[in-house]
Amino acid sequence: MTGSSASPLIVWFRDDLRLSDHPALHDAAQSGAPLVCLYVLDEEGSPQHGRPIGSASRWWLAQSLRSLQGSLTARGQSLTLRRGRPARVIADLAQEIRASAVHWNESDIPGEAATEREVTTALDRIGVASRSFPSDLLVRPEKLRNKEGRGLRVFTPFWKRVLSLGDPPQPLPAPKALTAGPKIATDDLASWNLEPTRPDWASGLRETWTPGEAAAQKRLKDFLDNDIASYASLRDRPDRDATSRLSPHLRFGEISPRQVWHSASFAAAGKPAISSSVAKFLSELGWREFSRHLLFDHPQLAERNLQSSFDAFPWHSDPKALRAWQRGQTGYPIVDAGMRELWHTGIMHNRVRMVVASFLVKHLLIDWRDGEKWFWDTLVDADPGSNPASWQWVAGSGADAAPYFRVFNPILQGEKFDPDGAYVSKWVPELARLPAKLIHQPWEATPMELAAAGVTLGKTYPEPIVDHKTARARALAAYAKTRD
């Protein structure tokens, strides 16, 4: 089977599609044993194991697996692809190659943790060792408990606790050499149909992104070299390229939170003037961490209100309005720009995410779960913790939530954070010729101004589907009913 007399080891890759700071791979490589690097596609998504990833994430996964395959090939390795329930697939492969152990990085996502337990049980039955390593978070959820033994539900004290623990462990280097294991059958990645074909709607994703570990590390370096100084002041501006755009790379583990933490901290140590921006940047990493800890304590985060008072909220079923929101046809330019950016690129600026989410939940009174599902399918960074936690935050039903009566005014949000209208002009080009003072409220333009800009409301661009003042009053009245 192999030139080495040692029994092979299996390294099971999951949402950690990288070679550096990969504790399971690092430990396996140090043994000198022949390795089989394995990725298992589990599409069943049963309730106890979480849901299948969305369409945009499937596209990203395909690119990331190709990138990982290239990195392994450069080290004389290959990536074995198998499909099915991990416990069965991994146990079968372990028997097939007479593996002595299976290494993997642990996940604190409840469904993934359940899968790990299944894998361990299946391997125990056949006498194969399991070796798992913490990797995905800065701090394990069990280490951050309150006096009652529960997780923290307010971000600021949570993040203070994380910071009080000091730096996380230093990231591990990528193995310089990997001993090839036996040649075994592997699925053809194309047969998994992760990428769209008819129709191929992924052209915007291809234009926008380069998935993979090398691209993730380059993105982090470029951000810390060029953009971090202005991050604190410009991070809310969707018209500026001022954010790191690392979220999908983190989602698929092409870069680890520890790598981001230490690189940013090193940059701040060398340039004290950027320390406040670095602190703000790391707190955004903290929100990812906070959301994952919430998910650990509340596995049904995407289905159930964290605050039970919202169980009685009078949501409206309005498929027509939901469709207008999804297509970026609400008549509110900042909302429509965000939704179109999402469809084309698989991502949306964080400030605009809050605006479009507030619009759906509060202007349209549509259940936050409908928005969460749409984001889950269309975001390349759809994270099982951050996505539902953020939707519940906006809805007012979650932990550390914005109060429900905080209703974002999409006109004022546009004027404040896209003052020149550049963001709207890019994603809603039919309004691009309107002056900046009108682009966020085209209905206030005179007939002559609309004609000069080539805009016909109701034809080239929709009238607002709701009136802001009326919708706000309706939302507050609905909220009051839940407080009675």
How wide is the angle at C-alpha 333 spanned by C-alphas 329 and 338, nearest 5°? 80
Residue 144's identity, in one-letter code, is L
| Active-site choice (391, 393, 409, 427) | 391
Q: Taking every pair of C-alpha atoms in the chain, what is the biggest distance, in angstroms?
A: 83
Q: Which of the following is catalytic: 192, 343, 350, 430? A: 350
Q: Consult the annotation and say whether 243 binds a ligand.
A: yes
Q: Token digits for 423? A: 């963001």
The answer to whether 284 is a known catalytic residue is yes
CA distance 354 to 393: 9
| 167 labelled binding-site residue | no
Helices (H), 298-446: 319-327, 333-345, 350-358, 368-378, 386-395, 410-417, 422-427, 436-439
Please identify which of the residues 209, 287, 374, 376 carries the catalytic annotation. 287
Is 187 known to sit in a ligand binding site? no
Residue 79 has, within 13 A of its CA and on its CB side, a CA count of: 25
Looking at 118, 192, 201, 284, which residue is catalytic?
A: 284
Q: Is 391 among the catalytic positions?
A: yes
Which residues, 6 or more positions from 31, have their beta carbon under 8 angstroms from its beta carbon?
6, 9
Q: Is 104 a catalytic residue?
A: no
Query: Is 245 part of any known ligand binding site?
Result: yes
Tell the burial category of 201 from Cβ atoms under 10 Å away from its Cβ (0-12, 13-18, 19+). middle
Tell me the β-bridge partners of 457: 461
The annotation status of 281 as a binding-site residue, yes or no, is: yes
Region label for 438, one of left (φ > 0), alpha (ψ between -120 and 50) or beta (otherwise):
alpha
382 is in an annotated binding site: yes
48, 285 in Cβ contact below 8 A?
no
The verdict on whether residue 247 carries a ligand-binding annotation is yes
Strands 101-105, 79-83: pairing kind: unpaired
In 3-state terms, what secondary structure has residue 36?
Answer: strand
Strand 79-83 relative to strand 35-41, pairing:
parallel
- 12 catalytic, yes or no? no
The annotation status of 311 as a binding-site residue, yes or no, is: no
- Binding-site annotation: residue ranges for FAD: 231, 243-247, 281, 381-383
Q: Which residues have a catalytic role annotated?
A: 284, 287, 315, 350, 368, 391
The annotation places the binding site at 231, 243-247, 281, 381-383
